[in-house]
Amino acid sequence: MSKVIEFDEETLKNEEDSNMGSWAHSSIQAALACLLRTDGRFNVLTELNLDVSQVDLTQFGIHKNEIKPDVCLYAKKKRVEPTRDLIRMLEYPLTAIEILSPKQNFRLKITLESRI
């Protein structure tokens, strides 16, 4: 079973323009990052810029070249040296988590599809 969540363009524009720095949002993001980091198998990164310019995301209502999930999980690797900082990730994470805020006014369309 897979779920497809579609957001309308206005929702995505509102999310870009709004400041998601609420106490609850920040607290949940920090708690998730700490919890996932204790596992030890992953590099846990927050607010990381992901380059999606080579992927057509218009079917999901996303018309951007870059997205910034709240939390990303990557397989454990060597650390990136501060002098070689990555501004935009080309490699996609194993998992990307977006925390929805009560302030985010969005319309969801969920499509369930069974695969047997």
> Strands 42-46 and 71-75, how do they pair?
antiparallel
Q: What is the pLDDT of residues 40-78, one digit of tens each?
A: 889 999 999 999 998 888 887 888 899 899 999 999 876
- Lookup: tokens for 95: 């998992």
Average pLDDT taken over every residue of the chain: 77
CA-wise closest residue to 22 among 96, 100, 97: 100
**What is the rounded average pLDDT of the residues 9-20?**
54
Q: What is the pTM of this model?
A: 0.68
Q: Which residues pair with 112 in a beta bridge?
A: 3
Per this entry, what is the length of the chain? Answer: 116
Contact 60, 11 (CB under 8 A): no
